[in-house]
Amino acid sequence: GNKNINAKLVLLGDVGAGKSSLVLRFVKGQFVEFQESTIGAAFFSQTLAVNDATVKFEIWDTAGQERYHSLAPMYYRGAAAAIIVYDITNQASFDRAKKWVQELQAQGNPNMVMALAGNKADLLDTRKVAAEEAQAYAQENGLFFMETSAKTAANVNDIFYEIAKRLPRV
């Protein structure tokens, strides 16, 4: 039969990596060039039908600034899934993403489904992080990896869909 699953999902990653833009694209199908910085965190929800289930994502889009770091556990605690976002044109954002992965591995729910999103995949000319490097890192650390673009919509629904498929069916 069809199952209804509620899944808390948190987006983590450096300021400017495109967390809010990915959520805006997924939830509203929109993109803005001058997305305002998130203060604290913002909440959204969106439902997705997968083969055998309807997944209602309860999405926490966090700010990413270091001064809000101490708030992050409130958002990832109890989360069923996390998307750790970096910007493929920014090496420091990839380093920051790895720090988030370490923190989730140490403090997060051990069954959490974790996705690594290399965002701004439309900006190939200014790429700094090789897809192969990110893919290898993700594989070693038990995440799945996709390059996304909130701007063109490439792989945005797909990453949420892949998470939905991986969630435990209770």
What does the binding site for Mg ion look like in residue numbers (CB under 5 A)?
19-20, 38
CB of 88 to ligand GDP, least distance (A): 9
Q: How far, in Å, CA of 158 to CA of 160, rounded?
A: 5
Residue 21 makes contact with ligand GDP by CB under 6 A: yes
Q: What is the x/- site pattern for ligand GDP, positions 44-73, by CB under 6 A?
A: --------------------x---------
Q: How far is the CB of 73 from ligand GDP (least distance, A)?
A: 19
- Give the binding-site size for ligand GDP (rule: CB under 6 A): 22
96 contacts ligand GDP (rule: CB under 6 A)? no
Residue entry with tokens 């101490």: 70
Residue 13 or 108: which CB sits closer to ligand GDP? 13
Region of 28-36, 45-53, 109-117, 160-168 interacting with ligand GDP (CB under 6 A)? 28-36
Burial class (CB in 10 A: 0-12, 13-18, 19+), 43: exposed
**Distance in Å, CB of 117 to ligand GDP, minimum:** 10
Kindly state whether residue 15 participates in binding ligand GDP, applying the rule CB under 6 A: yes
Is residue 35 near ligand GDP by the rule CB under 6 A? yes
- Can you tell me the distance from the alpha carbon of 9 to that of 46, in angstroms, rounded to the nearest whole number? 11
Query: What are the two backbone dihedrals, phi and then psi, of residue 66, each rounded to the nearest 5 degrees?
Result: -60, -35
**Of residues 100-129, which lie at the interface with ligand GDP (CB under 6 A)?**
119-120, 122-123
Contact residues toward ligand GDP (CB under 6 A) are 13, 15-21, 32-35, 37-38, 64, 119-120, 122-123, 149-151
